[in-house]
Structure 1
């Protein structure tokens, strides 16, 4: 519901959970992708051109 632009309070009302619980779940959900990214992006030793190519690829895939 949050990715669909619902408010935290709206999600809390719809699910019957406290807004603090929703915030805690949101924090947990946001921490995992950061940990995965940090794990895979350590010591890549990329040149500037390679990084630019990666970002170009990522931007081309956005909808």
Structure 2
């Protein structure tokens, strides 16, 4: 959901305020914006195949 909104709105970066959970959420959003498959497709059990570097900056 967050990654799709990032792509649809043409965002170049993600601003995160807070720590802990909010930082983890921002990282997940950046990751899903740069890698179009479902987030669960990239779990270690699937050996992280097809992962690109983050294309969105997290601030």
Shared fold (TM-score, shorter chain, > 0.5): no
Structure of larger gyration radius = 1
Please, what TM-score do these two structures have when normalized by structure 1? 0.28
